């Protein structure tokens, strides 16, 4: 996938944009401060991904496969709709 941290961040940000679209959010339209905080979190994730890849623990192809399936399946509505699970009524 990548040799540098920014090269890991780019596909993470692209995946995040797609996931945000599923939730009706355009990550590129959030305020600058929120975007910068998000970018630093993605950079930290990129550091971890690169370290694991460099050590041969998780190869880039596996990272890509896992990112591509991250939004598969049915997500609980409380997660998608930002509902505090402690505030939900018992089912």
- At 14-57, the pLDDT tens digits run 999 988 888 888 999 999 999 999 999 999 999 999 999 999 99
Please state the separation of Cα 66 from the chain's center in Å.
11
Res 48: pLDDT: 95
Res 21: pLDDT: 86
Three-state secondary structure string covering 17-58: HHHHHHCCCCHHHCCHHHHHHHHHHHHHHHHHHHHHHHCCCC
Res 1: pLDDT: 62
Give me the torsion for CA of 52, 50, 45, 43, rounded to 10°.
160
Average pLDDT over the chain reads: 88
Domain parsing of the chain, residue ranges: 5-70
Res 64: pLDDT: 86
């Amino acid at each position: 996938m990548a040799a540098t941290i920014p090269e890991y961040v780019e596909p993470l940000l692209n995946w995040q944009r797609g996931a945000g679209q599923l939730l009706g959010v355009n990550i590129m339209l959030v305020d600058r401060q929120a975007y910068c905080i998000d970018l630093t979190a993605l950079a930290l994730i990129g550091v971890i991904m690169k370290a694991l890849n460099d050590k041969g623990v998780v190869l880039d192809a596996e990272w890509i496969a896992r990112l591509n399936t991250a939004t598969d399946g049915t997500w609980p509505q409380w997660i998608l709709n930002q509902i505090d699970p402690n505030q939900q009524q018992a089912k």
